[in-house]
């Protein structure tokens, strides 16, 4: 790539502040926030943001599908199509997330994503970068399976995961299942995989023991886990009472928006906005298939035929808007929860998640309603609204 670029006339969002009357200078990496006049002199290309927010690219650390495709279909072309669509939502990188399906399928997905992750780093790749795989299961508790298929649930076993430790960035498991603590201990000692607690009936003490062994994340807080109870605070209590990163599906359906201000105060910079989106995201109402089970989309609600909630159709930029509007936080704080916090939670914050000098030039321009105007991945424009 030749020449520096500058974004001027924007509201630049840093992790804890909004900066005006400055410019963002970048090539394939972020160079820095500089004086506008100097940027206009130095840059080979000047982009006028027209007063829009200049934000770090959004990172979705938990997304199953989009636009009719699903990661568990084990079709690399489908995940490539997801990548192309996700930049429309300001997402510059993501973790393709599997369902609890057959282990042979999961192994195959990991192999395909290993190759696709490398491909996604190339300049010619048309969409959001793939950072690795999030295995949601199969090491979960059948009591809290949610919309996961119980047929494929397995006891926690680190040896099954180790061959894929180069591509698996995160795994959701239930620590209280037989072998759970041993699995956590082995994965913590031998890999850099972010260990996330979810689909779990753990007591508060069991959950806190898991945190002590190396669990650093909690998957979609409140959903598919032991609830907050005054005599046993459960996984929810452990999430709120420790410094683990905590996922929130901010679609106003999975978690009532009245909870958002509480989470903003209790979790602060450790709150991670996700979509948990299914293949029905970006699609019309109707019936869809999900890990061998049929679910129905109506409005913002996805449910199995028996009424069980099954993932979301949230776009991550909408999640940012919802959290800002109902969480009592600033735009900078809401964006941080969908950029730097997820990057930190999966161990990629040295390269991703903010507009700090030396990081990848992953940038999105958002209007006041969080509609995406432009998405830039590693310094190259991958989406521009018409």
Looking at the annotation, which residues are catalytic? 276
For residues 237 and 226, give the distance between their C-alpha atoms in angstroms, rounded to a whole number: 9
Asked if residue 86 lies in contact with residue 338, where contact means CB atoms within 8 angstroms, the answer is no
For residues 143 and 308, give the distance between their C-alpha atoms in angstroms, rounded to a whole number: 13
Q: Look at residue 254 and give its three-state secondary structure.
A: coil
Asked if residue 200 lies in contact with residue 140, where contact means CB atoms within 8 angstroms, the answer is yes
Sign of torsion over alpha carbons 10, 14, 19, 22: negative
Cα–Cα separations (whole angstroms), residue 48 to 268, 279, 292:
32, 35, 47
For residues 158 and 183, give the distance between their C-alpha atoms in angstroms, rounded to a whole number: 5
Gyration radius (Cα) of the chain, Å: 20
DSSP 339: T
Nearest residue to 246 (alpha-carbon basis) of 127, 345, 373, 361? 345
Nearest residue to 366 (alpha-carbon basis) of 146, 69, 54, 128? 54
| DSSP assignment of 131-193 | --EEEE-SS--GGG-TTS-GGG-----HHHHGGGTTTEEEEEE-TTSTTHHHHHHHHHHH--P
Q: Look at residue 273 and give its three-state secondary structure.
A: strand
At 287, list the tokens.
């019936």
Which residues, 6 or more positions from 357, have their beta carbon under 8 angstroms from its beta carbon? 29, 30, 31, 32
Asked if residue 78 lies in contact with residue 44, where contact means CB atoms within 8 angstroms, the answer is no
What angle (nearest 5°) sits at the alpha carbon of residue 296, between those of residues 293 and 299? Answer: 150
DSSP 258: G
Asked if residue 139 lies in contact with residue 180, where contact means CB atoms within 8 angstroms, the answer is yes
């Amino acid at each position: 790539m030749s020449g520096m670029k500058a974004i001027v006339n924007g509201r630049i969002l840093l992790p804890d502040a909004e900066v005006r009357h400055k410019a963002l200078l970048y090539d394939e990496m972020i160079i820095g926030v500089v004086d506008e006049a100097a940027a206009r002199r130095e840059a080979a290309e000047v982009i006028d943001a027209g007063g829009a927010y200049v934000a770090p690219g959004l990172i979705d650390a938990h997304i199953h599908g989009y636009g009719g495709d699903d990661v568990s279909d084990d079709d690399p072309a489908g995940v490539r199509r997801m990548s192309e669509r996700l930049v429309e939502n300001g997402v510059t990188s993501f973790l393709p997330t599997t369902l609890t399906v057959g282990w042979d399928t999961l192994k195959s997905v990991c192999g395909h994503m290993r190759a696709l992750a490398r491909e996604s780093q190339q300049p010619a790749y048309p969409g959001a970068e793939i950072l690795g795989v999030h295995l949601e299961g199969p090491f979960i508790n059948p009591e809290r399976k949610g919309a996961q298929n119980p047929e494929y649930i397995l006891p926690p076993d680190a040896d099954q995961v180790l061959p894929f430790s180069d591509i698996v960035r995160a795994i959701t498991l239930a620590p209280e299942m037989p072998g759970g603590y041993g699995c956590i201990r082995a994965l913590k000692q031998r890999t850099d995989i972010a260990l996330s607690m979810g689909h779990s009936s753990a007591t508060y003490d069991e959950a806190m023991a898991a945190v002590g062994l190396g669990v650093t994340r909690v998957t979609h807080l409140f959903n598919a886990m032991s609830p907050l109870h005054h005599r046993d605070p459960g996984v929810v209590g452990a999430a709120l009472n420790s410094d683990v990163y905590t996922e929130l599906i901010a679609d106003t359906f999975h978690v009532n928006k009245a909870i958002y201000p509480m989470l903003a105060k209790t979790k602060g910079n450790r709150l991670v906005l996700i979509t948990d989106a299914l293949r029905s995201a970006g699609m019309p109402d109707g019936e869809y298939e999900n890990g061998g089970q049929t679910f129905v989309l109506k409005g913002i609600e996805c449910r199995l035929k028996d009424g069980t909630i099954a993932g979301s159709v949230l776009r991550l930029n909408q999640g940012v808007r919802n959290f800002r509007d109902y969480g009592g936080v600033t735009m900078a704080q809401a964006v941080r929860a969908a950029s730097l916090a997820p990057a930190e939670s999966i161990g990629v914050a040295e390269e991703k998640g903010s507009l700090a000098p030396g990081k990848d030039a992953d940038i999105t321009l958002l209007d006041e309603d969080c509609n995406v105007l432009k998405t830039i991945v590693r310094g190259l424009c991958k989406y521009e609204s018409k």
